[in-house]
Amino acid sequence: MRRAPIGIVLTVVIGVVAAGSGQALGGGYLIRHAALVLTMDQSLGDGSLLGQLEDADVLMVDDKIADVGVNLPKPSGTSVIDGRGMIVMPGFVDTHEHAMQSIIRGCAADDTVVGWLARCTSGIRAANPTESEMYAAARLHTVGLIDSGVTTVNDWIGRFLTPVYRGDVRALVDSKLRFAVAVFGFATDGSDLAATVNLVKQEFIDQNPLATLQIASSPNPGTAAHVAVASQLALSLGVKLHVHLLENIADLASNQLQVLQNNGAFALGRDLHVAHFVHASDSDIATIAGLNASVAHNPLSNMRLASGIMRYPEIQNAGIRIGLGLDGGTNDTTDMFNNMRVAVGLQRAKSLNALGTPTIVEVLRAATLGGAEVLDMESQIGSLTPGKQADVIVIDPRVLNFAPSVALVNQLITNGQPQNVKYVFVAGKPLKSNGNLVGVNVGTVIKDAQAAADRIAPFLVP
């Protein structure tokens, strides 16, 4: 490792103190002398898929990546972060979430999604939760996501009443994460969908540059009317329709792709976003590829619920955009490192091929730029390309679970844990700084979530 001259050391120390307080001294942050920068931009660095540079700097000015390179000049007023020994990369993009489900962590851990829905999410509905309870639940989740290095989350809210929407989306806004939220509304005939969409749009989305609207639906014969209304609304608003598709083997009986086709969802084309897609036939994969629709892969959830193993290689080979999702309470954690590890591990265990898809490089791409492509946000986020939004994470491998630094790219998957994420920036603002969550009282977040969980617990069948 190179030695820094004494002047640089002093600058670094001063800069870290400033960054540790969560306040930039002036116009941004310079991460200096990072051991490894994964830009995810093939035109930068070594030309590989990861766009790797060693002993390199990343400069953020205002909300954007200003420069990436070696020995960058420091603009005046910029805070310096000592990157020596660390890994810098784009923040993770979580393409399928249910933030408020953190309130039912561990519920029905011996059941499939069918039983889990009946025993756990139905319990939330039966408890008639208040806005502040759902805020507490989603707050716990979003804070966990930040801790894990997630910088963009795609939340999907099901058939719930207005207070649930208000609590959940308010927590997304307060998190300062970049987010897309898929709105279902609260009536099975779809008649109240537009009202809920209007509420969420006007109160939380339209004025927020970090927020994007989506429409949520579920393609089953019993909800066909909702799919029709939701598809029409998504088309008219020019937003994505986000659905669960072929998650559990029981879904095969519902002809879900047929329900989507018969009710206008195919007209959305690349604005159709499907979660899971586990029990997809060759022809289902060809259909989704033909539509240019995208897929959220949720391996931790699929494993927990005995849902199956998504046909990742076939789906990727068909040219379908794949991102990773944590899938709320069905995966129980907000740990994106664990999700990446499982995405690789499940395919290896199935194929008996250690070189199979996704490789370590492919899963790192899916968790960042791939997720951005799924959300059609790759012109803004997903790589450290100058001009893009400064959604950046810094990982410190020099700790017990990660050290020694031998093969850092591999170790992100084999060793990485949320506790290794030292800094998280969204739009150039620090949400985690020097290992501490910025502006968050973790004790209060946990206490509020526990109070909500205690009140709702009698309605669950754990």
User: C-beta of 185: minimal distance to Zn ion in Å?
Assistant: 17
Considering only the stretches 22-30, 118-126, 251-259, 322-330, report the one whose residues sit in contact with Zn ion under the rule CB under 5 A: 322-330
Nearer to Zn ion, 327 or 335 (CB): 327
User: C-beta of 96: minimal distance to Zn ion in Å?
Assistant: 6
Considering only the stretches 73-81, 122-130, 323-331, 365-373, report the one whose residues sit in contact with Zn ion under the rule CB under 5 A: 323-331
Considering only the stretches 39-47, 72-80, 325-333, 437-445, report the one whose residues sit in contact with Zn ion under the rule CB under 5 A: 325-333
Amino acid at 26: G
Give the footprint of Zn ion on residues 3-42 (CB under 5 A): none
User: C-beta of 77: minimal distance to Zn ion in Å?
Assistant: 44
Which tokens belong to 436?
A: 């501490």
Angle at 435 between CA 156 and CA 415, to 5 degrees: 75
* 94 touches Zn ion by CB under 5 A: no
Alpha-carbon span 89 to 170, nearest angstrom: 28
Nearer to Zn ion, 58 or 180 (CB): 180
Nearest to 6 by CA among 122, 28, 14: 14
Alpha-carbon span 90 to 88, nearest angstrom: 7
User: C-beta of 258: minimal distance to Zn ion in Å?
Assistant: 21
Give the footprint of Zn ion on residues 423-452 (CB under 5 A): none
Residues 6 or more apart in contact with residue 182 via CB below 8 angstroms: 154, 155, 156, 157, 214, 215, 216, 240, 242
User: C-beta of 252: minimal distance to Zn ion in Å?
Assistant: 18
Alpha-carbon span 183 to 372, nearest angstrom: 20
Nearer to Zn ion, 53 or 342 (CB): 342
User: C-beta of 298: minimal distance to Zn ion in Å?
Assistant: 7
Nearer to Zn ion, 176 or 321 (CB): 321
Nearest to 173 by CA among 199, 212, 147: 212
Which tokens belong to 109?
A: 């851990």
Amino acid at 215: I
Give me Rg for the CA atoms of the chain: 22
Nearer to Zn ion, 327 or 396 (CB): 327
Alpha-carbon span 194 to 201, nearest angstrom: 10
User: C-beta of 294: minimal distance to Zn ion in Å?
Assistant: 15
Measured from each CB, the residue nearest to Zn ion is 327
For residue 397, whether the previous peptide bond is cis, meaning omega lies within 30 degrees of 0, is no
Considering only the stretches 107-115, 284-292, 327-335, 431-439, report the one whose residues sit in contact with Zn ion under the rule CB under 5 A: 327-335
User: Where does residue 450 fall: left (phi above 0), alpha (psi -120 to 50 degrees), or beta otherwise?
Assistant: alpha
Residues 6 or more apart in contact with residue 196 via CB below 8 angstroms: 162, 165, 183, 184, 185, 186
User: C-beta of 244: minimal distance to Zn ion in Å?
Assistant: 5
* 155 touches Zn ion by CB under 5 A: no
Nearer to Zn ion, 35 or 305 (CB): 305
Amino acid at 179: F
Considering only the stretches 200-208, 254-262, 320-328, 337-345, report the one whose residues sit in contact with Zn ion under the rule CB under 5 A: 320-328
* 327 touches Zn ion by CB under 5 A: yes
User: C-beta of 452: minimal distance to Zn ion in Å?
Assistant: 20
Nearest to 74 by CA among 85, 64, 61, 63: 61
> Interface with Zn ion by CB under 5 A: which residues?
327
